[in-house]
Amino acid sequence: MKHSTWRDLLLSALPPALTFVVVVALWEGVVRAFAVPKFLVPPPSDVLIAVWTERASLGGALLTTAQGAGVGFLLSASLGTSVGLAFSLSRWLERGLYPYALFLQTVPIVAVAPLLVLWFGPGLRAVSVSAFIVSVFPIIANTLAGLRSVDPRLSDLFRLYGAKLGDTVLKLRLPTAIPSMMTGLKVASGLSVIGAIVGEFVAGFSEGNAGLGITVLSAYRQLRTDLLFAAVLLASLLGLSLFALVSSLSTLLLRRLRAPG
Amino acid sequence: MLQDIDLVIEAGSFVALLGPSGCGKSTLLRFISGLDTPAAGSVVLSPKADEAQASAAAKLAFVFQDAQLLPWRSVLDNVALPLELQGYGRAQARERARGPLAEVELGDVHERFPDQLSGGMRMRVSIARALVTEPSVLLLDEPFAALDELTRQRLDERLRKLWQARRMTVIFVTHALAEAAFLAERALVMSRRPGRIVLDHALQLPEDRTLELRTNLDFVAQTALLYRSLSQHGALDDAQHGA
């Protein structure tokens, strides 16, 4: 058992690791061989050097962005599941509000970001709200779909024994919905980082601690493309770690619920 | 879908309901259980007043075709579920769930989960769950249809014994003739749509029934009688068209 899990891990980790090594090597080789200007495409080694030399400011920026994304994600996780639950309990509520929830998904976040600054003030608050807006809809939609996916015969069983609404929600609908809710949370975790970066583009300047979005903007203005790449790299890693965190939480929970997947 | 169903089922009897697929057997069962309401006509569970109807409904249990267990609950917690839903505390519900589990000989797998059981065991858990509220009416909708023949025969025998011990009213929907003859005191055959009851037959078989009964000539004759009624009323057309 132990042996085969190690083997599985190796088999699943090896191909992407190989791809990474090959691409980075090619990138370095091509950039150097053709003497591509560094402000266009810096070689990976320069990006790594930038990560190291600017580690203090990049670390601070990473922390700031992580805060904005984290707060936004927690907001959308709590509000999104609550709204999904409320929609599942009332058709009227769903019909009345779902189109407007969908609006959150379709609104161009860059265009409304200035509004967020006006309403919530610059810095963490506007950035978190931006992360929230971008990430909440998948949670609402997946929660609702999960709560609606209950086997009708199990609903019959609960009805037959005169189950109270609270019991039906807690003992049947929520456990059934959790796999789907987890899918929504996983999608939202990555989106919340995107929402935070976009929010920072407009609202990031405040209290001296700028996030990765600000780092990207200032690196661009100074043609410090190596620093720009470093910031993008860290932002992706942040999204990946948040996703991995939610993912492992989901795996644990699903195993407890004995749900497939 | 159903037409002119005029049926009286005595308390404590074991009735098998046979018929071609789509004839409305399951619909009839859902009407009896109160899960659905007929467009016209009514189902009376107790000849007494309306208030008795409500308490009679509370004494009803339903077994579905698939075991329909909650995968995140252990065997014991699955059987305790109906009691929890009726307002018992979890500890008390679990305690009372032990009896019915012992009755279906699953006393030793309390803490296992449905995905760790065979199909036959899952169905026994489902039956234990139905018995836990001590129902006066037990409705079963093709409960063993998805199981292999041997498992099915064993479960038939067990169900018959449970009925003999408890004497609740059992209504058992099936499309298996031998199963109906083996289990029931009375067999009802329904026609194709619109479903009507075309045969109401009291089975003349011994009280104690074991696997050997299936090779008994009386048993074969009773099964043949049900077969003739079913084939006269279109049950076999499907099979012929299908072939």
pLDDT in tens, A72-123: 999 999 999 999 999 999 999 999 999 888 888 888 888 888 999 999 988 8
Q: Residues A41, A33: contact at Cβ < 8 Å?
A: no
Nearest to B122 by CA among B147, B94, B91, B85: B147
Question: Under an 8 A CB cutoff, do A153 and B64 touch?
Answer: yes
Question: Under an 8 A CB cutoff, do A160 and B61 touch?
Answer: yes
pLDDT in tens, A220-255: 999 999 999 999 999 999 999 999 999 999 999 999
Closest by Cβ to B72, choosing from A158, A167, A258: A258
Per-residue pLDDT band for B51 (boundaries 50, 70, 90) equals: low
| B199: enclosing H helix or E strand | strand B197-202
Q: Supply the ipTM of this predicted assembly.
A: 0.87
Q: Is A161 on the interface with B (CB under 8 A)?
A: yes
Chain A residues with CB-CB distance to B54 below 8 A: none
**A contact residues 170-229, partner B, Cβ 8 Å cutoff:** 171-172, 175
Distance between CA atoms of residues B133 and B136, nearest Å = 9
Question: Under an 8 A CB cutoff, do A154 and B86 touch?
Answer: no
Sign of the Cα torsion A158, A163, A167, A168 reads: positive
Per the rule left: phi > 0, alpha: psi between -120 and 50, beta: everything else, A223 is left
pLDDT of residue A96: 93
Question: Under an 8 A CB cutoff, do B71 and A157 touch?
Answer: no
Q: Residues B67, B125: contact at Cβ < 8 Å?
A: yes
Q: Is B146 helix (H, G, I), strand (E, B) or coil?
A: coil
> At what angle are helices A225-257 and A174-203 packed, to 10 degrees?
170
B171 pLDDT above the threshold of 90:
yes
pLDDT of residue B47: 53
Q: Is B173 helix (H, G, I), strand (E, B) or coil?
A: strand
> At what angle are helices A55-89 and A225-257 packed, to 10 degrees?
40
B221 pLDDT above the threshold of 80:
yes
Nearest to A69 by CA among A247, A243, A249: A243
Question: Under an 8 A CB cutoff, do A160 and B33 touch?
Answer: yes
Range A45-257 classified under CATH 2.60.40.1930: no
Third-level CATH fold of B1-59+138-243: Rossmann fold (3.40.50)
Size of interface A-B (CB pairs under 8 A): 49
Lowest mean per-residue pLDDT among A53-57, B40-44, B118-122: B40-44
User: B74: which DSSP letter?
Assistant: -
